[in-house]
Amino acid sequence: ALFKDDLECQKLILEAMKYHLLPERRTLMQSPRTKPRKSTVGTLYAVGGMDNNKGATTIEKYDLRTNIWIQAGMMNGRRLQFGVAVIDDKLFVIGGRDGLKTLNTVECYNPKTKAWTVLPPMSTHRHGLGVTVLEGPIYAVGGHDGWSYLNTVERWDPQSHQWTFVASMSIARSTVGVAALNGKLYSVGGRDGSSCLSSMEYYDPHTNKWNMCAPMCKRRGGVGVATCDGFLYAVGGHDAPASNHCSRLLDYVERYDPKTDTWTMVAPLSMPRDAVGVCLLGDKLYAVGGYDGQTYLNTMESYDPQTNEWTQMASLNIGRAGACIIVIKQP
């Protein structure tokens, strides 16, 4: 009875009911009212990375509503080239190196209590590994153990609290980008000891096999990877032969379509970013920090797939390369 005289209001309520009760028709019902609200998309976290201090020990978080980065916690000591995954709104910090030692350790950070707990270590010491969650478990992919480049892959089962090996990749990859898409784990670029790689392969957990995909247009180590709207994006990175330390740093961005197994170049970053952190927040990709050849960058830009444009956003408090960038739904 509250809205009986307000036709506009009744229309909006009906529209909302249909949207929620008919999920199969949602693609036809898109409007500004169905866009994710800034308060619901979660909070971006930047964990560790290389800074002017030989390694960032802070964790920062970014709030889309206020467009600012604030300090959110401290790391346990310095770590570089580790991986991070999120389960149940907690951060899992996996592998990496502290100073000269490559680590197999796993620590869990609870942003609510700011407490760290230690979890069982991986079987293999790994830095430059790729980490992602696929259908529940966490995967730790490739990397370098201090002596050699790795093609091995371990999986953490959150129920049994154990690491087990799964099938190895066909190519050893360090500074590799990984992402989950359509129930598969994609392993993108990286370095194999002699060069940077353009190849990509995917892991199917149901067959426990790796399969090669079409290669990227550009070879990339230190590549940032994220998925959006059924596509996979490869962002920035470097291309250098092992014998030659002056890397070409990349501002290139390309997009992979798994339906056609093809890559397409899209709009480049505003600057080259090696060891860039990339993440989906809401309906945009965010590229955070990295190294431009001179500086550990504190800048962040966001990519809108609808307009194919990058936009400068708020800057980090600390310039960081190789920081892990992830989203926690409940900040």
DSSP readout, 298-309?
--EEEEETTTTE
- Least confident interval from 17-21, 46-50, 300-304: 17-21
Q: Give phi and psi for 8, each to the nearest 5.
A: -55, -45
**pTM exceeds 0.75, yes or no:** yes
Helix (H, G, I), strand (E, B) or coil at 38: helix
b/e map of 178-215 (b: 16 or more CB within 10 Å)? bbbbeebbbbbbbbbeeebbbbbbbbebeeeebeebee
Mean pLDDT score of the chain, rounded to an integer? 92
Q: What is the pLDDT of residue 34?
A: 66
Asked whether residue 331 carries a pLDDT value surpassing 60, the answer given is no
b/e map of 48-76 (b: 16 or more CB within 10 Å)? bbbbeeebbbbbbbbbbeeeebeebbebe
pLDDT digits (tens, 9 = 90+) for 63-114: 888 999 999 999 988 889 999 999 999 999 999 998 889 999 999 999 999 9
Q: What is the pLDDT of residue 8?
A: 83
Q: What is the pLDDT of residue 222?
A: 96
Domains and CATH numbers, the chain: 1-34 (no CATH), 39-328 (2.120.10.80)
Per-residue confidence at 278, pLDDT binned at 50, 70, 90? very high
Sequence-distant (6+) residues with CB within 8 A of 30 are: none
Say what percent of the chain tops pLDDT 90: 79
Q: What is the pLDDT of residue 242?
A: 56
Asked whether residue 193 carries a pLDDT value surpassing 70, the answer given is yes
pLDDT digits (tens, 9 = 90+) for 155-179: 999 999 999 999 999 999 999 999 9
Q: What is the pLDDT of residue 30?
A: 75
pLDDT digits (tens, 9 = 90+) for 17-47: 887 787 777 777 777 666 666 667 899 999 9
Q: What is the pLDDT of residue 40?
A: 75
Identity at 8, one-letter amino acid code = E
Q: What is the pLDDT of residue 9?
A: 82
Asked whether residue 293 carries a pLDDT value surpassing 60, the answer given is yes
The CA distance from 22 to 6, in Å, is: 24
CA angle centred on 312, ends 200 and 296, rounded to 5°? 65
Per-residue confidence at 243, pLDDT binned at 50, 70, 90? low
